[in-house]
Amino acid sequence: MNHLKQAQHVLKSSPDSVASLGRMVAELESLYSVLDTGDDDWKARFYDHWGALEEVFAVALDRGLSELDEEGSRIVASALSDLRALVTEDFPSPDE
């Protein structure tokens, strides 16, 4: 399975707790480190949306939450929507 397909798989679900968000953030961070899209702008957008997820996770941990609050849920939903669109869009392969 290539890395973009793995990212699509990870993004199929929506986290239902702070712990599941943490797992998703970790998986996406690992995939980000090995993604080679040949498009620096695409990779920067992926990082920005991943960063929103990571920030919500960090704030939830800092507050001792086990479930996302309303604002965190809204930010996560938006970032996931953007990431899902991003990993399905066409972009130049590294060979082009």
Range of the domain at 56: 17-88
Q: How far apart are CA 52 and CA 62, in angstroms?
A: 15
Q: Is residue 93 part of a domain?
A: no
The b/e string for 39-52 (b: 16+ C-beta within 10 A; e otherwise) is beebbebbeebbeb
Which stretch of 42-46, 61-65, 75-79 has the lowest confidence by average pLDDT?
A: 42-46
Please provide the average confidence, as pLDDT, over all residues in the chain. 87
Domain count, the chain: 1
What's the confidence (pLDDT) of residue 90? 54
Q: How far apart are CA 28 and CA 9, in angstroms?
A: 10
Q: Is residue 71 part of a domain?
A: yes
pTM for the whole structure: 0.85
